[in-house]
Amino acid sequence: MRRLLLLNFVLVLSPGVCAQPSLVRTEALDAPSKHAWNLFMLLNHPAKDPKTGRGIPDTAKPLGAPGSTSVWETWRLAKTEVFLKRGVEPPAWDDLRLPGGPTTGRVPEEPKPLLVNRAQARPKGGFRILFDEDGIWDPKTGGGFGETRMNRALYEAIKANKLYSKEGQQRYAAEAVKGSKPLLSFPVDSMEVKAAWRSLTQDEIKQGKDKTYYVAEWEGQKYGLITLHIITKDVPNWFWATFHHKDNPSNEFEKEDLFPKPKAVIGTVWENYVLGGTQTDFMTAQGDPIILSDFYVENGFLRSSCISCHSLASAAPPNEGSLSPDSFLIGPPNPALFFKDQRRTQLRIIQTDFLWSLPIRAKSEKESDTGSATK
């Protein structure tokens, strides 16, 4: 079923079955805005109960059905369902026993209060330089939270290559640097999303603003989805698209999307969301760096490039240092960063195929019960 998300297909309709948009992988380059909107509709389609299979659309429900959970929300949550304590191997895709398994609501109950509490404890007016699941800065309330999720293809590739721990990534990097393993390249149907949510004020709720948001609730507080980053391995450098709510603060680097909103979103809550841009390469044909950012996820470094920053995501053999994020990097990275010698004949480290989730969120196999690594 997951292959249907990325291949052109024809769906024969029967009574009570809602049509799904089809995706053509070549449109990632040929018609990027259309491709982005098709992804947006597919991933936000109501999902079946995860107990019957994670990441499966419920075609008996229409897009925007009230009270439904989106397909991407039933994917694996990176922080608590992929990269586990002490770097242990995560279970099978459909196993819901881990804390954070989406068994009762849109946002997993186990991590959500932690995310919300940490976000609200931070001073108003501050911001994080990198997207962080522990908090999203909001100019109105100062509070919000984020989440990163992976689809089945990506999750199973991480499991198969034992990349779920820091040491597992180091071991893979050591083999790849020697040439006994290929450089990391995830399957073409791999997907990851970043979602940012902000707490809605009582005044906004009284005005009915909450009706324009895709909403999650926790202990009487409503949180509106403000941003959804979608990345897919449709092309070698991945296909990047960012959507945001129409009321988000302005981003001077965002270019107006001239592609008309699909008819399927009109009249649903998803009509209130805007395509903030797409990206498939570092530079334009004229040699200018391509800029793509979102007010919330890249707050503080809006003149930035998703591909450029993520190109530094890396894993290193033991005793070699991997790279750190450079939020302000635009254009291609410096190749010398990845090699031991000036002639670039011997790799020092490997890229983790544009995914910061691996080096940032993986735990050490030597981690103690307190959460810190032991010597």
Global pTM?
0.88
Residue-level pLDDT at 245: 97
Residue-level pLDDT at 135: 65
Residue-wise pLDDT for 122-178, tens only, equals 444 444 434 556 666 677 776 778 889 999 999 999 999 999 999 999 999 999 999
Q: What's 322's DSSP letter?
A: -
From residue 44, how far is each of 38, 70, 217, 280, 335 by CA, in Å?
10, 5, 18, 22, 37
Question: Cα(257)–Cα(249) distance, rounded to whole angstroms?
Answer: 16
Residue-wise pLDDT for 226-250, tens only, equals 999 999 999 999 999 999 999 999 9
Rounded CA Rg of the chain: 20
Q: List 290's β-bridge partners, or say none.
A: none
- Backbone angles phi and psi of 206, in degrees to 5: -60, -35
Q: How many CB atoms lie within 10 A of CB 85?
A: 12
Question: Cα(9)–Cα(196) distance, rounded to whole angstroms?
Answer: 31
Residue-level pLDDT at 369: 59
Q: Are strands 144-150 and 215-218 parallel, antiparallel or unpaired?
A: unpaired
The one-letter amino acid at 35:
H
Question: Which residues, given as ranges, of the chain have pLDDT below 70?
Answer: 1-16, 97-137, 142, 368-375
Question: Cα(225)–Cα(182) distance, rounded to whole angstroms?
Answer: 38
Question: Cα(139)–Cα(236) distance, rounded to whole angstroms?
Answer: 36
Q: List 347's β-bridge partners, or say none.
A: 339
Which residue reads 């001077």 in tokens?
Answer: 252
Residue-level pLDDT at 8: 37
Angle at 235 between CA 345 and CA 277, to 5 degrees: 120
Residue-level pLDDT at 206: 95
Number of H helices and E strands in the chain, helices first, is 8, 9
Using alpha carbons, select from 184, 155, 2 the residue that is nearest to residue 91: 155
Residue-level pLDDT at 75: 92
